[in-house]
Amino acid sequence: MNKLEASFVLLSVTFFWGIQYMFLGNIPEGISTFAFLTLTNAIGFILVASVFYKEFMRITRKLVWKSFLTAVLLFGFNVLLTMGSRSMETSTASFLAAAYIIFIPAVMVVLRKKIYRRNVAGVLMALVGIFLATGIGFGAGGGGMTGLSGGIFYLLGADIFFAVYIVVLEELAGDLSPVLLSMGQMFFGSLFGLCGWLVVQPETIVNLPMETQFWASVLVIAVFIRGFTTVMQVYAQRYVSALNASLIFSMEIIFTLVSMQFLPLLLGEEREPLTAAKVCGCLCIIVGALVSEGVIRIPSSRRRQG
């Protein structure tokens, strides 16, 4: 796999992330976040393990340790993401979840990684696009700030976890089996979730809701988010830098806005209108990603000496 192919794989990952928020919002009030994460991680693990069971022969102590370490970061991200998304509008949750690109450069500086000027320019342009696409910061007319409540703190906390995860994954995934690392993450995620479930809401372990909407959300997240995107992100990010990967992931809001034009019709929910500001925001995000990749070059302040 080359860099271009890896970028398209990460784009497919971003697509599924973009449509997940409508399903996260369908978790019943009586079900804890830990229960939902236990179910989705366990089902995702079983699905991947049933296909790649021969990979278990390659398990090493180093892989178990790195799986545990990355699972802690990923579990922290998923807990806060799920808690925040349950109480917020879909587009607003998608915006705040994509705001981890703000923290990526800071994490890279702390870990003494090199950052290019075009990367910073691309991040800033994508951030402007996210603001435009969601209407955050444009007053009551934009509609982006309604229903934030405490969910904003959960999602900003999730951003920090995911920013660290993206940067750390670039270092850890290079010499390991992506499938085994991903299965390890889902396995430990299931254990972490089960521990939290037993503490917070043990009575629901044998009394889960039977609503079709709930189990549809569980299966969609388990198959496409846990099973597919976890494996493919680990695999593809070996060929794409953390900062460029974050710019691709920033397109998540684009897929969210597009999917909200047709998914609500299938789920019987209200469709969110597509405005000119949202379209401009999506274009800014795309341009920002192209600038960061060097496809679009920004003018240099250096002048040739005559």
> Six-digit token pair at 146?
């309604």
Cα distances (angstroms) measured from residue 198 to each of 32, 34, 51, 82, 146: 10, 9, 30, 18, 33
Q: What angle do CA 242, 85, 127 make, to 5 degrees?
A: 40
Report the alpha-carbon distance of residue 306 to residue 303 in Å, rounded: 9
- Percent with pLDDT over 70 in the chain: 84
Q: Helix H segments across 173-229?
A: 178-200, 212-220
- Taking CB atoms within 8 Å and a gap of at least 24, the contacts of 192-197 are 192/37, 192/71, 192/72, 192/75, 193/34, 193/35, 193/36, 193/37, 193/38, 193/41, 193/75, 194/34, 194/38, 195/34, 196/32, 196/33, 196/34, 196/37, 196/38, 196/79, 197/32, 197/34, 197/35, 197/38
The total number of structural domains in the chain stands at 1
Whether residue 94 contacts residue 259, with contact meaning beta carbons closer than 8 Å, is answered with no
pLDDT class for 139, splitting at 50, 70, 90? very low
CA-CA distance, 284 to 52, in Å (whole number)? Answer: 40
Determine the pLDDT at residue 41. 96
Q: Is residue 169 in a domain?
A: yes
27 domain-assigned: yes
Distance from C-alpha of 242 to C-alpha of 250, rounded to nearest angstrom: 12
User: Is residue 71 included in any domain, yes or no?
Assistant: yes
Residues in the chain: 306
d(CA 207, CA 213): 16
Place of tokens 């299931």: 190
> Which residue, among 146, 140, 131, has the nearest Cα to 96 in the 3D structure?
131
64 or 170, which is more confident: 64
Please check whether residue 306 lies inside any domain of the structure.
no
190-201 tens-digit pLDDT: 999 999 999 988
Q: Is residue 305 part of a domain?
A: no
By residue range, what is the domain housing residue 69? 3-293
Separation of alpha carbons 24 and 20, rounded Å: 6
- pLDDT at 201 (0 to 100): 87
* Residue 175 counted as domain residue: yes
Q: How confident is the model over 201-215, as a mean pLDDT?
A: 86
Say if 134 falls within a structural domain. yes
271, pLDDT greater than 70: no
Residue 302 above 60 pLDDT? no
pLDDT in tens, 30-87: 888 899 999 999 999 999 999 999 888 889 999 999 999 999 999 999 999 888 887 6
For residue 294, give the nearest of 4, 65, 56, 77 by alpha carbon: 4
Which carries the bigger pLDDT value, residue 188 or residue 94?
188
Q: For helices 103-110 and 117-134, what crossing angle results, to 10°? A: 150
Structure tokens at 155: 């999602």
